[in-house]
Amino acid sequence: MSQIEIKGVSYSYPVKEGHSLKALKNVSLAIDKGEFVVLAGMNGSGKSTLAKLLNGLFTPSAGEIFIDGISTADEENTFEIRKKVGMVFQNPDNQTVATIIEDDIAFGPENIGVPREEIVVRVDEALEAVGMSEYRTRTASKLSGGQKQRVAIAGVLAMRPDVLILDESTSMLDPNGRKEIMDIALKLNKSGITVINITHNMDEATVADRVVVMRKGRVAMDGTPKEVFASGLLEACGLTLPPVTQLSRSLADEGFVFGDVVTDEDELVEEICRQLK
Ligand code: ADP
Ligand code: MG
């Protein structure tokens, strides 16, 4: 059994009386503990809906989702599911609940009745994990976008999640902020947390174990980054290949030969140098 089992899941939003919009159509997917999955797809393809189903914010209209064998459909499990699957959203400016950073991070555990001494430990660890320890008594509003997202991640970590979902959490950040968040996501993943990164930025997909491409509420492709980049599906879905892969394609038009899809800058540089000699 996989950590996350999505079995034939559909989800409809009621839009007006008697009408609904089918945002997900018969989606099946299994994700193992410790995987780093990128979920890609055009706006409106159903990524956020799937994320909200995974942490029990929504329940499937049809089909079923299991997290560690626990069904999200059973209301009794909602609390457990929310603890297991943490989510960070897009906008760094509306994810804080308290003014002071350490209070903000403590909010989740306080809410579920974690004892005071334990909260102190968790806040320390969470701040450390996102490299924000020295900011603990500062005001969240004064931080950069990347720092705010790091605090949002820390808030999730304080709940000791098994799965971290980033729903376009880097999309409003500058390149430095993006890198900060990606580095943290990779580090957390190495420590055993499953990461699902929803993104349009295919640079972020190069480091993933798997890329799942959504299209019109369905899974259009599920493969390694190289398989997905080679398929032509990203372009068909209105997404762009990572710059390193694009560059290797242009070079291939100029006569360079690459045995495989290039996803790594160092690999590209090495190959160019070798072929120029
Ligand atoms: P993505 O995150 O890939 O951009 P979403 O999951 O947000 O896609 O949306 C999938 C579909 O569901 C889209 O057609 C969108 O317009 C629709 N949708 C999303 N949220 C709502 C809502 N609250 N009410 C009605 N329709 C919605
Ligand atoms: Mg979305």
Mutate to test the pocket of ligand 1, among 17, 21, 198, 218 (most ligand atoms within 8 A of CB): 21
pLDDT of residue 97: 87
Structure tokens, 122: 């968790």
Structure tokens, 183: 């580095």
Q: Is 21 in the pocket of ligand 1 (CB under 6 A)?
A: yes
Mutate to test the pocket of ligand 1, among 19, 39, 48, 49 (most ligand atoms within 8 A of CB): 49
Whether the pLDDT of residue 3 is over 90: the answer is yes
Structure tokens, 34: 């410790």
Per the DSSP assignment, residues forming a β-bridge with 210 are: 37
Q: Is 147 in the pocket of ligand 1 (CB under 6 A)?
A: no
Ligand 1 centroid to 75 CA: how many Å? 23
Which of 199, 202, 191 is closest to 45 using CA atoms? Answer: 199
Candidate from 44-53, 61-70, 254-263 with smallest mean pLDDT = 254-263
DSSP letters, 26-91, are: EEEEEE-TT-EEEEEE-TTSSHHHHHHHHTTSS--SEEEEEETTEETTSGGGHHHHHHHEEEE-S-
Ligand 1 centroid to 23 CA: how many Å? 6
- Pick the ligand that lies closest to the CA of residue 10: 1
Q: Is 216 in the pocket of ligand 1 (CB under 6 A)?
A: no
Q: Virtual CA dihedral for 222, 227, 231, 237, nearest 10 degrees?
A: 50
pTM of the model: 0.96
Q: What is the DSSP letter of 169?
A: T
Question: Contact 257/273 with Cβ under 8 angstroms?
Answer: no
Q: Which CATH superfamily is domain 4-241 in?
A: P-loop containing nucleotide triphosphate hydrolases (3.40.50.300)
Ligand 1 centroid to 152 CA: how many Å? 23
pLDDT per residue as tens digits for the range 251-260: 999 999 998 8
- What type of residue sits at position 141? S
pLDDT per residue as tens digits for the range 76-134: 999 999 999 999 999 999 888 889 999 999 999 999 999 999 999 999 999 999 999 99
36, 38, 226, 257 from 261: Cα distances, Å: 20, 18, 6, 11
Structure tokens, 75: 């209301």
Q: Domain spans of the chain?
A: 4-241
- Pick the ligand that lies closest to the CA of residue 22: 1
Q: Are strands 194-198 and 19-31 parallel, antiparallel or unpaired?
A: unpaired
Query: Alpha carbon 213 to chain centroid distance?
Result: 13
How far is the C-alpha of 79 from the C-alpha of 71, rounded, in Å? 12
Q: 10 Å Cβ neighbour count for 102?
A: 23
Q: Compute the mean pLDDT over every residue in the chain, rounded to the nearest whole number.
A: 95
Q: Are strands 4-16 and 62-67 parallel, antiparallel or unpaired?
A: antiparallel
Q: Is 15 in the pocket of ligand 1 (CB under 6 A)?
A: yes
Ligand 1 centroid to 204 CA: how many Å? 23
- Pick the ligand that lies closest to the CA of residue 11: 1
